[in-house]
Chains A and B, each alone.
Chain A
């Protein structure tokens, strides 16, 4: 549960429906939007969205990345035929974009199509959150270069317990045209109410413009708090959280994700380097980060094979599946230099998770992969504490003796991460 980026399409869809809910809502939004997905039948689009053939259009990928103009992924002022052709040339194709100086390659899948709005004025508007309240950022000089023009950005703070209607935005906006000024200040207030009610955590319209007394958001970036799904189910409508552009999951990662989605426990698994020699199987959100840190801090970043965690009292079956997935990857091939591989079964001292019970599933999986683990020269290090840990550690020790894999087993007497050092410095 955390802040999640959403598609520009969804943000605008919610925005156009949302801001008109509030009193004094003179400022409405352009509401014509269409999202193209890999399944969309473009030939059927004009029937579903008649405006596509009535006005010129703007189209861009809608996959959580910005700077689409600079990445040459923006088509403006085009008719439907050209728009369609433009999409068809790019849909399901690999594309490399530059973001924050990094090149990221991914597949283009989703596109946002809107009416093209010729305009002169470009405004910047964003709402961010801080502990004490929200901050509304506004600049009359919006656009792609806003970062260079940051000194034109005004900040209006809305304390968390305050009402945005108590702010006198209209007095402070540096806009000459009185009608525009009133329209924008009213819109800003409604936008903030919308931001609050829909549990947004970040919302940026850069730029937006005005047309016929309507606000037209030209570009929009948004994040919502997915913990609010219960409160916002109706307001959000069907809201899907896409993964970042360029991230693709392996079969194994998908497998664990599927189990995670179905259980009350938490199971996370990310492959960093399948050829890495250090495999982590760590219990707990806090401890898992620290084990990965320690490998990195000790200078073995390139050997770190995975990151993940299991917590919240997973069942024996779930820990078995989790372990099996890791072991399957770990035993796929020997290290190319024939060096040892390390499986670190780590964790802090649990508050209430039954250690012996979670170990039962892990042991079952290790037993199954015993020969394979030996083949790739595995050493196992165990460190764990918490309810029933002595029984759990005993079970592990006996397992090591039974299947003949070198294994070191420690409880709370050993500093939590020292097994990492023990493993790596034994090299």
Chain B
């Protein structure tokens, strides 16, 4: 590679930073230009290794992700460019690191706001080691038909319009990254197109200067003319005037220094770029434009004539036979991204998922259409949130309060119950929170905690069938079904459960109607006549009250059946009891409890002396 060449059709680069879109745009450009291989050797993303999926045309390919510059460079010694998307805070350190690696020759620094001193050190280090820095505060640049830095030159559509998929004859360099794209357009419309374009960045001390790149273009025989866009501030442009005078630059240069309006601006107005500030008369745009014109460069009267000067210069070179306009070729078509096609209304696709309870797409997430801030401001509470996410309803206060009472009541029933026990045993086996919790939750079902659903189901059946409580109890006994939600280990009609009393009181006070509760209490009258502890227990009561609550909320009988069927009632039990299970887990952890082993004397060992012999009657045994 000649020393004036920074990039060619085989250039391989690293992209530092998680910049999937920029990488994809580079690959789209490569594909468009019919490069043999993608120009990105890999991404450097300290936070994660592995691979990134990107498109090469319509095909997806795996691009390696490295966690350090060293690792990436060791794996790809052929890559000599690093495009550094690190933030302004870390751009300096990462660029220094890259400059220290022998195989990396060019580093583009995208970040805006790198301290000037750091930028100057980077520039000096690069120069000392015969390396190149482009930036900071730049979008990068493009070598037409060969290599594109990051987001330079915009969309594939723009690249096609500006004919950047094949080299023209014009070398371009500017300070401004935004204007570089505009200038590719101007050059494409007035000449045979850009050969190479670089934006050096808007800072006062860019890593490489306008002059550095013009000298490269001068040395490159494929470049016939140069276009340059400078800016008010700094004195670098005077070196260009000197170089033209001394014939170090001999090719025609069309140049314009922007910021002629700076002198009419009030003091203290900061122009777009950090370096755009004139501290002395020498640094003004007028002075620089004048000096450049006097030195023999082609300077328009205003940016408005920039295109005309470029066209005239190109036409002149053509007339003098100094230029053979680049031949037209057809760029390879880059498939449109699905997302863009959707936004343009060109394609449609049937969805695989449907969600009706919440939306996480907009500025703020919402629950059933209520933004989360409103949930907080209007004090929905846990009960209100359950109302939104489980039923898509804004529940009245007596209901949200009821839900919260239920959750509090069932949060924990001691370490001995099946679920808590399992949680504790698992925690003591050294498993983590989620595993221990799952072990506890796995016990919830028809026998543990299932009474909520079961009672709701049984009593609803009874009430709907029109059977009297007495008939219902007989019917269930006849069919050998234990009525769910009836019976308690310690509480009885004489020793009532205070929690049950409390909740019945709440329901009677707040529910407009409570037919199932009334029915269940009558059933209790029947069962307690047989034995005092066959009372309506807390689990059963909760299930029953939820059915009544739903009736109050306007659920139809069919809807209530559905809710029971899909396990909503158990849901309350699971949600509430999770608090307790987690408490047990944390407790065991803090107590540093060792692995639990069940004592022998608590197990009845009744093992036969030998196994039962099975008589062999299979076909093979008949012989």
Tell me the A residues contacting B by CB distance below 8 Å.
1-3, 104, 129, 131-133, 159-161, 196, 199, 201, 225, 227-228, 230-231, 243-244, 246-247, 268, 270, 272, 283-290, 292-298, 301, 304, 307, 309, 311, 348-352, 385-388, 391, 412-413, 415-418, 420-421
B250 within 8 A of A: no
- When A and B form their complex, which 9 residue pairs have the shortest distance between CB atoms, in order from nearest? A285-B272, A286-B176, A348-B182, A297-B302, A286-B179, A284-B178, A228-B115, A2-B274, A296-B261
Given contacts A227-B88, A386-B155, A293 and B258 within 8 Å (CB-CB): yes
Give the residues in chain B near A284, CB-CB below 8 Å: 176, 178-179, 272
Chain B count of residues within 8 A CB distance of the other chain: 71
Q: Interface 1/0s, chain B 197-210, versus A by CB < 8 A?
A: 00000101100010
Q: Determine whether the beta carbon of A351 is less than 8 Å from that of B120.
A: no
Residue of B124, B177, B182, B267 near A416 (CB, 8 A) is B182
Measured between beta carbons, the chain B residues less than 8 angstroms from A159 are: 124
What total of A-B pairs shows CB separation below 8 Å?
200
Whole-angstrom distance between the Cβ of A225 and the nearest chain B Cβ: 5
Nearest chain A residue, comparing its CB with the CB of B136: A227
Tell me the interface secondary structure of chain A in the complex: mixed
Q: Interface 1/0s, chain B 112-132, versus A by CB < 8 A? A: 111111001101110010000
Within the complex, the shortest CB–CB distance from B400 to chain A, in Å, comes to: 33
Residues of B within 8 A of A286 (CB): 174-179, 182, 202, 229, 231, 258, 272-273
Specify which chain A residues have a CB less than 8 angstroms from the CB of B301 in the assembled complex: 297
B443 close to A (CB within 8 Å): no
- Report the separation of the CA atoms of residues A307 and B115 in the bound assembly, to the nearest whole angstrom: 26
Q: In chain A, what residue has the closest Cβ to B128?
A: A161
Q: Does the CB pair B158–A227 fall under 8 Å? A: no
In the complex, which residue of chain A has the Cβ closest to the Cβ of B205?
Answer: A131
Residues of A within 8 A of B258 (CB): 286, 289-290, 293
Judge whether B307 is part of the interface by a CB distance below 8 angstroms: yes
Partner of B303, one of A283, A297, A301: A297
Which A residues are CB-close (under 8 A) to B182?
A: 286-287, 348-349, 385, 416
Q: For the complex, what is the distance from the CA of A321 to the CA of B151, rounded to whole Å?
A: 28
* Closest CB in chain A relative to B337 CB, distance in Å: 11
Q: How far is the CA of A387 from the CA of B161 in the complex (A)?
A: 13
B152 at the interface (CB under 8 A from A): yes
Contact B302 A349 (CB under 8 A): no
B269 touches A270 (CB 8 A): yes
Contact A288–B117 (Cβ < 8 Å):
no
A196 x B117 contact (CB < 8 A):
yes
Taking the complex as formed, is B221 at the interface, i.e. its CB lies under 8 A from any CB of chain A? no
Q: Please pick, from A160, A295, A387, the residue contacting B124 in the complex, using a CB distance under 8 A.
A: A160
Chain B's nearest CB lies how many Å from the CB of A231?
A: 7
Q: What residue in chain B is nearest A312 (Cβ atoms)?
A: B112
Which residues 145-201 of B have a CB within 8 angstroms of A? Answer: 151-155, 158, 161, 174-179, 181-182, 184-186, 189
User: Inside 8 A of A421's CB, which chain B residues have their CB?
Assistant: 304
- Chain B residues whose CB sits within 8 angstroms of the CB of A415 once the complex forms: 186, 304, 306-307
B219 to chain A, nearest CB (A): 22
State whether B178 touches A287 (Cβ < 8 A). yes
Is B265 positioned at the interface, with any CB of A under 8 Å from its CB? yes
Closest to B262 in A: A289
Is B344 interfacial (CB 8 A cutoff)? yes
7 new A-B contacts at CB < 8 Å, known A160-B124, A351-B153, A351-B177: A2-B275, A3-B274, A131-B120, A196-B117, A227-B116, A286-B176, A352-B21
State the CA gap A69–B567 with chains docked (Å).
Answer: 86
Q: Output the residue of A132, A297, A387 with the most chain B CB within 10 A.
A: A297
Instruction: Point out which of A284, A285, A387 has the most chain B C-beta atoms below 10 A from its C-beta.
Output: A285
Nearest CB on B from A188, distance (A): 18
B139 CB–A CB distance under 8 Å: yes
- In the complex, B266 has a CB within 8 A of chain A: yes
Q: Which residues of B have CB within 8 Å of A293?
A: 258-261, 285, 302-303
Give min CB distance, B208 to chain A, whole Å. 11
B113 touches A351 (CB 8 A): no
Q: What is the CA–CA distance of A244 and B265 in the complex, to the nearest angstrom?
A: 13
Q: What are 6 sample pairs from A and B whose C-beta atoms fall under 8 A apart?
A: A225-B115, A268-B272, A272-B264, A287-B178, A293-B258, A304-B264
Q: Which residue of A lies closest to B22 (CB)?
A: A352
Tell whether, in the assembled complex, residue B161 and residue A296 are in contact, meaning their CB atoms are under 8 Å apart.
Answer: no
What A residues does B306 contact at CB under 8 A? 415
Residue on B nearest A270 in the bound complex, by CB: B269
Minimum CB–CB distance from B489 to chain A (whole Å) comes to 61
The reply to whether B89 and A230 contact each other, CB–CB distance below 8 Å, is yes
Q: Do A246 and B270 form a contact, CB below 8 Å, given A287-B179, A391-B344? A: no
> Once bound together, how far apart are the Cα atoms of A311 and B264, in whole Å?
23
**How far apart are B238's CB and chain A's nearest CB, in angstroms?**
13
Q: Is the CB of A268 within 8 A of B302?
A: no
Q: Residues of B contacting A311 with CB < 8 Å?
A: 178, 272
Say yes or no: A296 contacts B260, CB within 8 Å.
Answer: yes
Q: Chain A residues near B123 (CB, 8 Å)?
A: 131, 160
Q: Tell me whether A272 and B304 are in contact (CB under 8 A).
A: no
In the complex, B276 has a CB within 8 A of chain A: yes
